[in-house]
């Protein structure tokens, strides 16, 4: 499944308002449903129980309507004798006859008439069309609907509403719980239309309701409400628990043993929030990678626990220097990503210098140093709208790596030069394999001469990259990249093969061949079969082994010494010459000279360069190095020699060969061929193909 880059650090939000509103609506719907069910049940029960009364009043109305005036009086007298309240009203709502207290719904005692709203229920509505205006006219009809009998509530004790039931239950609590009381009477009115007289007869009735049944109904309603409230509370508790679990999950996700609650994920999430805020669009922020230099060494010298404790102190100092809305987290073992609000590059530099100064003063048995790589997010940069923290932080890391070789504290800002460098690295990395396949790499040769006789004694093979679009690329522009990405091992193979191929060709042409040294990178010496690889490459081209010199840098001797010694012995057993390059460029190891069976020692060019060099001290060191090499049966080669005085000194000290601009610069194969020349007769002592 493809993940959207913008959403890869997106965390689920804690939503509270939405669920609470939704659950509240559900709760209200449940209450409404309970009310509706109870109301429907109430009406149903009431209608069922009042059917006989409705039929009685309807029949009584028919008799009253069709009877004579005397018969009507008899019917009304009978109702009076029964103690039943009633009223007879005309089509205008005026009460013609009545008995008892008239409390039917719609009756207005102050006006002694039934309200118009009630009359609208008694009489049929008729619609007519006005011939002149063509508009609908609604009039109250003169005729009452046939067989139109219906129920009216008592205005003092309504029975058609849920609220009345509850109130009635409370008002009659004593009656309901009375063991001797089996039922209670609820008043209501029945109205029937009198068709012939266009009148309405309304008679009061009483509906018996069983107290226990009523209690059961009330209990059911109360239990339903309690259940609804309980469910609502459960849902609210669930929302609160989910919110708490979400916060707990974030704490776990953001947990870190150095900066509690502030790991890389925390930094990314909160950093994006800050950079994406509209109000921060006009601000400048510094994305910083702060690295504790030599943290690993501190771990080795002490312990992981002590090193982490020191790193925690570092985080505490940094945090104390942060302002509101600024971040500090812990990402890698010694890396602390920061987000600072600054006014510009100068402000960022001053703040970081002050911060590093405080960090260096943390009590420690070692000198502490820190490296800061900085990328500025300014209002003019579009990057802030995407807030791709990975990209922004990577730029800060790239700036820090530009000063990674310096063991002291330092600050580096990401700029266009670094961008161009990264683009250059990408370009040559993409083209490196194609350059091998198309043989774009050229072998240049720099001769080595005997300073006493000026005789050609050897050469060093150096690589150049010839491209169709960029021309000839010097090695310093691509060799470091190949060393970092591992492609340098293929260059080693390429150079060994091509030098062996040239040696085979020159021998076949009868030229005077001299040993040619080929640099082998230290990365290659981690391979157990390196000697077999080199031997196979040279044999494939058909060149004598003694014309190939394998050149190792001094730094390679600080790797696995046993593996190095094993490879050197194998190469020597196959007849290859072995030399140490750049002797004296770093921390020269006399143990390496003691343990390694080397054939040639190359003195670093640094011995012979530099305006402030103490010449007398330099000559002493070089002289002793040559003497040491001779004592170990090694030949010496001086690199970087450029003037006659240096040549004369080296000759006097017994240096075997000189490689430098004094004699020749690195040159293409064709030019070197002219140096070795062609002989009319092949020297019998020269190696034969």
Q: Give the pLDDT confidence score for residue 335 in this predicted structure.
A: 87
Residue 52 has what pLDDT? Answer: 87
Looking up tokens 């504290």 gives 409
Residue 161 is classified by DSSP as S
Q: How far is CA 604 from the centre of its chain?
A: 50
81 token code pair: 């004798």
CA distance 183 to 650: 133
**DSSP class per residue in 557-606:** GGS-HHHHHHHHHHHHHTT-EEEEEEETSS---HHHHHHS--SEEEEPGG
The whole-number mean pLDDT for each consecutive block of 10 residues of the chain, a chain of 689 residues, reads 55 68 81 79 76 88 87 90 89 84 79 64 50 44 54 71 47 47 75 82 84 70 80 80 72 69 82 77 88 86 85 89 90 88 92 93 88 87 64 88 86 85 88 94 96 94 93 91 90 95 93 93 80 94 95 70 85 92 66 81 77 73 90 92 91 93 94 78 41
pTM above 0.75, yes or no: no
Q: What is the pLDDT of residues 444-490, one digit of tens each?
A: 999 999 999 999 999 999 999 999 999 999 999 999 899 888 899 99
* Cβ neighbours for 73, distance < 8 A, ≥ 6 positions apart: none
SS3 state of residue 388 = coil
Per-residue pLDDT, 242: 78
SS3 per residue for 174-239: HHHHCCCCCEEEEEEEEEEEECCCCEEEEEEEEEEEEHHHHHHHHHHHHHHHHHHHHHHHHHHHHH
Cβ proximity of 413 and 399 under 8 Å: yes
DSSP 88: E
Q: Determine the pLDDT at residue 235.
A: 79
Distance, CA of 662 to CA of 655 (rounded, Å)? 15
Spatial separation of the C-alpha atoms in residues 490 and 455, rounded to whole Å: 33
Q: Please check whether residue 498 is in contact with residue 443, taking contact to mean a CB–CB distance below 8 angstroms.
A: yes
Within 8 A by CB and 6+ apart from 649, the residues are: 619, 622
Quote the radius of gyration of the chain (alpha carbons, Å).
53
The pLDDT assigned to 163 comes to: 46
Contact 42, 162 (CB under 8 A): yes
pLDDT of residue 445: 96
Chain-centre distance for alpha carbon 568: 50
Q: What is the model's pLDDT at position 286?
A: 92
387 touches 377 (CB < 8 A): no
For residues 49 and 65, give the distance between their C-alpha atoms in angstroms, rounded to a whole number: 26
How far CA 87 is from CA of 65, 114, 160, 200, 201, in Å, comes to 14, 10, 21, 8, 6
Beta-sheet pairing, 635-639 with 657-659: parallel
Domains in the chain, please, with CATH? Answer: 26-225 (no CATH), 264-414 (3.30.70.270), 424-676 (3.20.20.450)
Do residues 538 and 687 touch, judged by C-beta distance below 8 A? no
pLDDT score, position 138: 36
User: What's the confidence (pLDDT) of residue 132?
Assistant: 52
């Amino acid at each position: 499944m493809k993940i959207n880059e913008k959403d890869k650090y997106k965390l689920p939000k804690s939503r509270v308002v939405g669920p609470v509103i939704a659950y509240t609506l559900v709760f209200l719907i449940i209450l409404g449903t309970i009310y509706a069910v109870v109301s429907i049940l109430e009406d149903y029960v009431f209608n069922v129980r009042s059917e006989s009364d409705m039929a009685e009043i309807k029949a009584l109305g028919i008799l009253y309507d069709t009877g004579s005036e005397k018969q009507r009086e008899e019917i009304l007298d009978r109702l009076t004798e029964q103690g039943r309240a009633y009223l007879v009203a005309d089509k205008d709502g005026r009460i013609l006859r009545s008995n008892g207290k008239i409390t039917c719904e719609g009756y207005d005692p102050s006006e002694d008439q039934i309200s118009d709203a009630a009359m609208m229920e008694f009489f049929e509505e008729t619609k007519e069309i006005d011939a002149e205006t063509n508009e609908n006219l609604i009039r109250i009809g003169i005729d009452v609907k046939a067989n139109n009998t219906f129920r009216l509530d008592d205005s003092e004790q309504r029975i058609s509403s849920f609220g009345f039931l509850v109130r009635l239950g409370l008002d009659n609590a004593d009656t309901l719980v009375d063991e001797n009381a089996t039922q209670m009477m609820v008043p209501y009115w029945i109205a029937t239309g009198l068709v012939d007289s266009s009148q309405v007869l309304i008679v009061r009735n009483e509906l018996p309701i069983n107290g226990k049944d009523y209690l059961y109904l009330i209990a059911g309603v109360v239990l339903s409400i309690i259940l609804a409230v309980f469910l609502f509370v459960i849902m609210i508790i669930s929302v609160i628990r989910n919110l708490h679990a979400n916060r707990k999950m974030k704490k776990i996700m953001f947990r870190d043993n150095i900066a509690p609650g502030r790991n890389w994920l925390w930094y990314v999430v909160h950093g994006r929030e800050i950079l994406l805020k509209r109000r921060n669009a006009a601000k400048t922020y510094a994305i910083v990678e702060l690295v504790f230099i030599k943290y690993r060494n501190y771990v080795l010298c002490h312990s992981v626990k002590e090193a982490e404790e020191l790193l925690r102190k570092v985080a505490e100092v940094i945090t104390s220097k942060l302002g509101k809305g600024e971040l500090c987290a812990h990402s890698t073992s010694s890396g602390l990503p920061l987000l600072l609000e600054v006014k510009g590059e100068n402000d960022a530099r001053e703040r970081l210098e002050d911060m590093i100064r405080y960090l260096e003063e943390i009590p420690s048995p070692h000198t502490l140093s820190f490296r800061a790589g900085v990328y500025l997010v300014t209002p003019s940069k579009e990057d802030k709208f995407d807030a791709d923290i990975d990209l922004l932080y990577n730029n800060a890391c790239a700036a820090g790596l530009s000063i990674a070789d310096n063991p002291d504290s330092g600050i580096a800002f990401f700029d266009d030069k670094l961008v161009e460098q990264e683009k250059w690295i990408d370009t040559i990395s993409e083209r490196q394999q194609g350059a091998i396949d198309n043989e774009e790499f050229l072998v240049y040769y720099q001769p080595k001469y005997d300073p006493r006789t000026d005789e050609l004694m050897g050469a060093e093979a150096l690589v150049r990259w010839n491209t169709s679009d960029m021309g000839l690329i010097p090695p310093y522009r691509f060799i470091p990249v190949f060393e970092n990405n591992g492609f340098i091992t293929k260059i080693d193979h390429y150079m060994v093969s091509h030098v062996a191929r040239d040696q085979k060709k020159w021998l076949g042409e009868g030229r005077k061949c001299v040993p040619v040294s080929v640099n082998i990178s230290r990365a290659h010496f981690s391979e157990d079969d390196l000697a077999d690889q080199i031997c196979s490459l040279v044999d494939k081209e058909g060149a004598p082994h003694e014309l190939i010199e394998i050149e190792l840098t001094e730094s390679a001797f600080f790797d696995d010494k046993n593996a190095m010694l094993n490879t050197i012995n194998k190469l020597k057993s196959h007849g290859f010459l072995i030399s140490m390059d750049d002797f004296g460029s770093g921390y020269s190891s006399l143990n390496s000279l003691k343990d390694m069976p080397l054939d040639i020692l190359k003195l670093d060019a640094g011995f012979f360069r530099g305006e402030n060099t103490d010449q007398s001290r330099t000559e002493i060191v070089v002289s002793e190095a040559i003497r040491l090499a001779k004592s170990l049966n090694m030949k010496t080669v001086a690199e970087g020699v450029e003037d006659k005085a240096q040549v004369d000194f080296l000759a006097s000290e017994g240096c075997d060969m000189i490689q430098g601009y004094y004699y020749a610069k690195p040159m293409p194969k064709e030019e070197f061929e002219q140096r070795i020349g062609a002989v009319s007769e092949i020297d019998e002592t020269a190696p034969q193909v």
